[in-house]
Amino acid sequence: MKPYTLMHKNIPVADLALDTASGVIISIGAVYEAAHAPVGVPAREGSMDRGSLNEWWRGRAIPASRSGIRAALSELGVSAPELLLEKCLGLSLSDQYWIRPAGSSLLWENVNFFDNPFSEDVGNILFGKEPGSAEISLMSPDNTSDGWLRKKWKIIDGKRCLIKGGSGAARQEPYNEALASRIMDRLDIPHVSYSLLLEEDYPYSVCEDFITPDTELISAWNIMKTAKKPNHVSVYRHYLDCCSRLGIGGAKDAVNRMLALDYLIVNEDRHLNNFGVVRRADTLEYIGAAPIYDSGTSLWFDRPLPMIHARAKAVCKPFKNSHDEQIRLVTDFSWLDFSALKGIDEELREIVKGSLFIDEARREALCQGLMDRLGMLEEAALLSTKQAYVERTEFDVAQDVAYSGGEDR
Ligand SMILES: Nc1ncnc2c1ncn2[C@@H]1O[C@H](COP(=O)(O)OP(=O)(O)OP(=O)(O)O)[C@@H](O)[C@H]1O
Ligand SMILES: [Mg+2]
């Protein structure tokens, strides 16, 4: 057992005791700043919900489903990803929380990964590479990175960048990220820009950290935990209601854009931790929707060639069970300039050209599928003028996805 203080930058939030064998928070002591508790963790002056805080803390760790995690943990000599959290004081490059050892006078300025260098040992090991030095340093934001795909943070030209691999035989995710960025460039949708990196013929996507030392990302899942969802309220409505209760502007416009993109590229993994909002850490003031990130699990990324076509069966998240239902939630398409997407298939062709993983037949099937989806999106936009239909879909909870944090891969 080790005593710590949960910190939000330099603001002490609460004292806690961490079981160093399991990584579990076994007790919470004094609560100093309930308002600065992580969003979705119920807290009042004097008390904080330990179950929720543990869920939040566990959620900071690398998920057990991460590609390559077992081998990496064995090399690091650590039995579970939760135990890595303590090694980097729980610091991340997506928010401003950390734990300070009791009695220590450490300042956020001296430890945060935004301004201070960090070790790439964990990231290299996660990528199956040599750590780089004999003495492995565990002071790394990779210990607090979420998601299923192999990934690592790297400082490139002074900027914090996330490098992410692909999966399966086609390794399509990095190409998809690059295409989604181009689509959103053309449509003026606020997004994280992903570029393609080839290393030893393997594709990776690279994007800059969109969080700064002053801001933080809060996932939709955590936003939605700020209130209980009544059974008769749809997941979609609950999200917008929570945003409006918290004073987050522009949520509906941002969701409209995200759902239109996801319909076009057939995104199958827009779970509730794959979008969210940004707030200022110091003032707790919400800035608005986060730019769109993590759009790689799309365009039939894991399908064999014969299954690549616009009407292929596809998983749908985060609000409805089917893409055809979900697109009906879009209340406004007037911002969508279809002419800006002219020739988008050429752009995709260019992006995947030369890939050792995507042959010509797959490439052409993807381009055709994308153009057919574009046609379907135009039809959906035309249909949406029938407002009554939109409303029926919004309130129909029967078609809703199961309401959960979502990462079930
Ligand atoms: N550019 C970024 N800046 C800051 N934080 C980021 C950035 N990109 C991703 N993140 C954070 O890292 C997490 C994991 O990244 P990402 O969702 O891209 O990985 P993934 O492996 O594709 O995830 P999934 O398991 O959803 O497929 C995100 O949920 C988000 O919290
Ligand atoms: Mg993700």
Q: How far is CA 363 from CA 170, 174, 379, in A?
A: 11, 14, 25
Q: To test the ligand 1 pocket, which listed residue (69, 94, 144, 176) has its Cβ within 8 A of the most ligand atoms?
A: 94
pLDDT at residue 250, as a whole number: 97
Pairing of strands 25-31, 43-44: unpaired
Cβ of 118: how many Cβ atoms within 10 Å? 24
* Confidence label for 409 from pLDDT (cuts 50, 70 and 90): very low
Ligand 1 neighbour 181 (Cβ under 6 A): no
CA 116, 21, 147, 227 dihedral sign is: negative
HSE-up (13 A, CA, CB side) for residue 353: 7
Residue 179 has pLDDT above 60, yes or no: yes
Alpha-carbon distance of 136 to 139, in angstroms, equals 9
Residue 385 has pLDDT above 80, yes or no: no
Q: Which residue, chain included where needed, has tokens 């730019």? A: 291
Closest CA relative to residue 162, chosen from 134, 141, 189, 136: 141
SS3 401: coil
CA 277, 272, 312, 396 dihedral sign is: negative
Residue 388 has pLDDT above 80, yes or no: no
* Closest C-alpha residue for ligand 1 atom 28: 146
Alpha-carbon distance of 177 to 195, in angstroms, equals 8
* Closest C-alpha residue for ligand 1 atom 18: 294
pLDDT at residue 43, as a whole number: 95
Q: Measure 209 CA to ligand 1 centroid, in angstroms.
A: 10
Number of H helices, E strands in the chain: 13, 13
Q: Which residue, chain included where needed, has tokens 């004097």? A: 46
pLDDT at residue 128, as a whole number: 87
Alpha-carbon distance of 269 to 253, in angstroms, equals 20
C-alpha R_g of the chain: 22
Mean pLDDT of all residues belonging to the chain? 95
Report whether 247 contacts 255 (CB < 8 A).
no
Residue 7 CA, chain-centre distance (Å), reads: 23
Q: What is the mean pLDDT of residues 23-28?
A: 97
Q: What is the mean pLDDT of residues 356-360?
A: 97
* Closest C-alpha residue for ligand 1 atom 17: 294
Report whether 178 contacts 195 (CB < 8 A).
yes
Residue 143 has pLDDT above 50, yes or no: yes
Residue 18 has pLDDT above 60, yes or no: yes
Q: To test the ligand 1 pocket, which listed residue (67, 156, 162) has its Cβ within 8 A of the most ligand atoms?
A: 162
| pTM assigned to the model | 0.95
Q: Measure 55 CA to ligand 1 centroid, in angstroms.
A: 18
Hey, what are 267's tokens?
């995104």
Residue 304 has pLDDT above 50, yes or no: yes
Q: Measure 32 CA to ligand 2 centroid, in angstroms.
A: 32
Ligand 1 neighbour 146 (Cβ under 6 A): yes
Q: Measure 65 CA to ligand 1 centroid, in angstroms.
A: 14
Q: What is the mean pLDDT of residues 70-87?
A: 93
Q: What is the mean pLDDT of residues 335-341?
A: 98
* Confidence label for 35 from pLDDT (cuts 50, 70 and 90): very high
Phi-psi region of 288 (alpha: psi -120 to 50; beta: other; left: phi over 0): left
Domains assigned to the chain: 2-130 (no CATH), 215-399 (1.10.1070.20)
Got the DSSP string for 273-293?
A: TSSEEEEETTT--EEEEPPB-
| Per-residue model confidence as pLDDT tens digits over 241-296 | 999 999 999 999 999 999 999 999 999 999 999 999 999 999 999 999 999 999 99
Residue 408 has pLDDT above 60, yes or no: no
Which residues pair with residue 5 across a beta bridge? 15, 100
Atom of ligand 1 nearest to the CA of 210: 3
Ligand 1 neighbour 293 (Cβ under 6 A): yes
Ligand lying closest to the C-alpha of residue 148: 1
Ligand lying closest to the C-alpha of residue 222: 1
